[in-house]
Amino acid sequence: DQLILIKHGFFELWFAGAARLVSDSSFTFADGTYATRQQMEIMFDADFATSMFHYANSYNTLSLNDAEVGLFSAVILLAPHRTNVMDPKAVERTVDPIVEALKLQLARSHPADAQIVTSLLLKVPELRALGAKHVLHLEWFRSNWEKLRLPPLFAEIFDIPKCEADLQQ
């Protein structure tokens, strides 16, 4: 189940952290390079780019600290409903105390904001929807793999073939 959770939740998990690097007009990557909103619309499509920027900007208004982002990331990663998870009850037993820890951390860090827990937990389905849109974009990569030269880790995480032999597996 660990590999399934990581592979299926990778984009959502990554974006939960990376959203902090998004402004109204650009997305700065960890290495300092950036893409403008217009470039993101060209790379993906306007709807997906708009969804990414909307999510990031509303998420950033919550002003989460590193501990809160870490706990939220764990909640995102440990999704018992993911396709092919063999023991969803075990995943649920693991994520439940993390959700409680997140609630406690939020209450301690944001005592004046009674709605922050609700606001953040409402971000989960929004992030999952963004992840589902990302999967649709990955289908293009899978269909056009022969024309692409992708980093091996990217291809592995997102199950994009790198050669004919990968299609046989």
Phi and psi, residue 115, nearest 5°: -100, 0
pLDDT, position 153: 79
Q: Where are the domains of the chain?
A: 2-168
Q: Where are the alpha helices (DSSP H) in the chain?
A: 2-18, 37-43, 46-60, 66-77, 88-109, 116-121, 123-143, 152-157, 164-168
Half-sphere exposure of 92 (CA within 13 A, CB side): 6
**How does pLDDT run along the chain (169 residues), one tens digit per residue?**
898 899 889 999 999 999 999 999 999 988 899 999 999 998 888 999 999 999 999 999 999 999 999 999 999 999 999 999 999 999 999 999 999 999 999 999 999 999 999 999 999 999 999 999 998 888 888 887 888 777 787 778 777 887 777 767 6
pLDDT, position 12: 96
Q: What is the pTM of this model?
A: 0.85
pLDDT, position 169: 67
Is residue 143 exposed (0-12), middle (13-18) or buried (19+ Cβ within 10 Å)? Answer: exposed
The secondary structure of residue 35, as a DSSP letter, is E
Residue 19 one-letter amino acid: A
Cβ–Cβ < 8 Å for 34, 28: yes
Superfamily holding 2-168 = Retinoid X Receptor (1.10.565.10)
What Rg, from alpha-carbon coordinates, does the chain have? 17
